[in-house]
Amino acid sequence: MVVVDPPTFSTTKGRVFTASKDYVELVGAAASVLEPGGILCAASNAAKLSFADFERAVGRGLATAGREGLVLKHLGLPPDYPVLPGFEEGRYLKFLGVVVW
C-alpha cells in the first residue's frame, strides 16, 4: 500500500508542487513501486482541483507508470461538512482507493 497525500502547495529543492500540475507525476512515481494487486490511497484537499480532474490525474499517473487500476473507493467530505449549492470549491476533500496491477 502506498498513501499519497501531498500538501496542496509546497516547495522542495526550489520546485513548487501544485496538485493541479504535479499530481500525475506523483501518482506515477507511487504506482511504480506497487506490486500488482497493491493499493494506492490517493488524497487531495486542493480546492481548485475538481473531483473529476483528480480522478483523471490519478488515471494518467497510473498510465505514465505503465500500470492500470480499479477504483475501490471514492470519498469526499463527510455529511457533517455541508457545501453551499454552486460552490464547487467547497468540495475540496477527495480520496480514491485504487487496486493497481
* pLDDT tens track for 67-98: 999 999 999 999 999 999 999 899 999 999 99
Question: CA nearest 61: which of 36, 30, 99?
Answer: 30
On the question of pLDDT at 10 being above 90, the answer is no
pTM of the model: 0.90
CATH number of 2-100: 3.40.50.150
User: Is 11 in contact with 4 (CB distance < 8 Å)?
Assistant: no
Residue 73 neighbours by CB under 8 Å, 6+ apart? 95, 96, 97
- pLDDT tens-place string over residues 15-64: 888 888 899 999 999 999 999 999 999 999 999 899 999 999 999 999 99
Q: Residue ranges per domain, the chain?
A: 2-100
Cell of 56: 483523471
